[in-house]
Structure formats: C-alpha cells, structure tokens
Structure 1
C-alpha cells in the first residue's frame, strides 16, 4: 500500500510498510521540517519532474562504515600526490548543480529537480545539508552532498569530472571523524569497491536511532 501524505501535517507512515521496491508514500512537500523528519525515520525523496514527490525507505540499506573504507594502492598514490584540494561546504550550490547534470543509477534524466535543489539549499542554509568539494587547479572537479542526522551522513549524490575526484571527496568525508555511518541508500559497484555493504532495515534503523541524536 502506498500512502498519500497530508500537505498540512508532517507525518510519515511506518517505513516497514514500504512496497518491495522501497516506495512508501506519495505527495506532501519538500519543506525542511518534512525533509528532516523523513531522514530521521530512514526515508528519502526520489522522483523526477514528471512525477509527484515519491518517498522511499528500502527494506535493505547500502551503507559504508568509515572504519571499513577500502582505499586502493593506486588511490593512495593519487591522494599522496596532492593533485586534489578538498574542502567542506565551500560550494554547496555548485556541487548539487553538478550532481543534477549527471543521470543517477541508470536514469536518462535527473532526479535532482529544480525544486529538489532549492529544498536542499534551504537545508544547507540551516546547517543540515553539507557538501564535500574536490578541486584541481582551482576548478571544481568532483564532490558529494548529503544530509547529516547526528553522526549519520545520508549521502544523496556525487559527481566526478576527473578520475578519482568523487572518491577523494568520499574518503575525506569518511576520514573526517564526524560520522560513524554513511548511508549510501542503494547498491552501486563503485561504492561496493570502497567497502560499502548491505544491511537489513532493522540494523539500519538501530544505527539511526543510536547515531541520529
């Protein structure tokens, strides 16, 4: 059963009631209060311009524990070379715009609509959404953004214009010491190669309860 959200009330159904593909609810809005309530319950929006707002909570979650991060020998050489300069929250708007320009997980278009960009920019201004930027010779060549829920970072998207640029951003995030769990949402080969793995909903929700304070 897919639930219709009330635009006048910030409330979500039990995430365990999501469809097999993770779809839980439809409608509502992207107000910061609703977005943060969603993340606190393990729910995130994922839709495109031709659809209403769709809210997902996968029955399994793809996560990365920073202490399990795998850095290849070749990547270690890249990091030692100093070719990249990493910053945090220096260019959030640029990062989300670059992520929007790249299709996600087999999609032809972007899921980061103009409304989504504005919603996450509002979260950023409130100190809830953050970006990691990778620079090369003064140019933004990679990065990622997501939402912080206590010591859990809900990664939303990443982009790369040069080889290894997004990896460098993710490594910096993991090594920052600010987070004990990175929520990668759904499986990708790229992140699996860096140590991300699937956990059950129950396991994810347990971490969310403990780390999301």
Structure 2
C-alpha cells in the first residue's frame, strides 16, 4: 500500500493490492487527476473515506466496434424519440449521476468535491458529457475523461430517468470514439449491464500496454 503526499507522483499501477487499491491520499487537483488517468489510475472513494486510487486487475473496457445493439435498443434508436447532445450541460449530467439512485445502491461516490473537480476538468477541455433529452428535458447522460492524445475515453458514470436513456448515451459515445479512432472506452471495473452492451474484462498488463501504445498524430488539412 502506498501513501501519496503533495508530490505529483503515483506508484507503478502494477503494485496495486489484489482488490485493485493502489494508493491513499494526495488531492483531486486537475493536474493530479490527468496524471492519474494517463497512468491508468482512477480515484474512487466515499465521503467518509480518504482519497483512494485504484488500478484493478482485470480491467473492464469497451472496444467501440464491439458495442452490442439489441433489437429493443435498435428500435429505440430508430424511433428518434431522444435528442442527443455533447457538452451542453455537463454540470447537470454529473449532478444527476450523483443523485439518481441505482438498484442496490444506497449512496454515491460522486462527492461534492469530486463533482467540482470534474467540472474543472470539463472547463479545461479534458472531460466531456453526453446528454439525452426527451421533450426538452434531460432524461439521461454520461460523463468521463477524454484522453485525446492517448485515444482513450475514461467513462466515469451515467444515469437514466427513463428506459434506455443511458444505453442511448453510451451508444452515441461509442460511435463518437469510433469515428475518432479511439482504442477503447475504459469502464474500470466489472459491470454486468456494461457487459451486456459489449464491454469485456482484460488483464491489467494488456490494458496498460494498449493505453501506452504510441498513436500517430492526426493529419491536418492543407
């Protein structure tokens, strides 16, 4: 177990405990969060806990070309009953992710401090949101950290107020990263719902190897 101080540093992600816990402490500055995500590390803790940093093995990811569209989801997508936007209301998305309860969940790990930090990340251009609207009301969405240089999107949380809204948000995110030739969406830890949509577990070594693969720079038009 490692303890992080004010120094902008993390141990090797492979040194995490069996349950994936890597380090304790530090802060939630934009600089530290970006350093963590670029290293394959993410924060996850509750209000009554210190800041906890994780690097689980295995790691849940979605390769965008593997997104599974069920017949019912295809019907929803074809119905065009939802309007989809990007980065139109990041703060409301993260607020809903923190407050909309999920089955079997008593509270939230998206504390007020976490919300403020990711909003700062968004304002700095490093976090994006996908919004799902129905009759001009926000009914679903997701947010996460965009590692554009590494061609990786780190999904953080999503919410749904009506059936299929979060699935629709995830579908459009997968289409977005596919168009940008991203390697994968990092889903962090196993989730049966995400598995049903095509996400899978890979070994941490594989995750880190893909994360750190060099990518060719995007060419600009003359």
TM-score, with structure 2 as normaliser: 0.91
**Counterparts of 2:103 and 2:37 in 1: how far apart (Å)?**
21
Deviation at 1:102, TM superposition (A): 3.2
Structure-1 residue corresponding to 2:3:
4
Deviation at 1:180, TM superposition (A): 2.9
Structure-2 residue corresponding to 1:26:
24
Structure-2 residue corresponding to 1:115:
113
Structure-1 residue corresponding to 2:44:
46
Aligned residues: 211
**Counterparts of 1:99 and 1:197 in 2: how far apart (Å)?**
23
Structure-1 residue corresponding to 2:124:
126
**Counterparts of 2:131 and 2:198 in 1: how far apart (Å)?**
21
Structure-1 residue corresponding to 2:212:
209
**Counterparts of 1:203 and 1:30 in 2: how far apart (Å)?**
27
The 1:51–1:103 alpha-carbon spacing in structure 2 relative to 1, beyond 3 Å, is farther
**Counterparts of 1:117 and 1:101 in 2: how far apart (Å)?**
11
Asked if 1:169 corresponds to 2:169, the answer is yes
SS where residue 29 of structure 1 aligns?
coil
CA RMSD, aligned part only?
Answer: 1.5
Deviation at 1:106, TM superposition (A): 4.7
**Counterparts of 1:13 and 1:108 in 2: how far apart (Å)?**
32
**Counterparts of 1:59 and 1:73 in 2: how far apart (Å)?**
32
CA contact (8 A) 2:44 2:53 kept: yes
TM-score, with structure 1 as normaliser: 0.95
More off after superposition, 89-98 vs 177-186? 177-186
CA contact (8 A) 1:95 1:144 kept: yes
**Counterparts of 1:132 and 1:93 in 2: how far apart (Å)?**
11
C-alpha offsets along residues 112-149 of structure 1, whole Å, 9 cap, x if unaligned? 00000000000000100100000000000000000011
Asked if 1:186 corresponds to 2:189, the answer is yes
Structure 2 unpaired stretches of 5+: 218-222
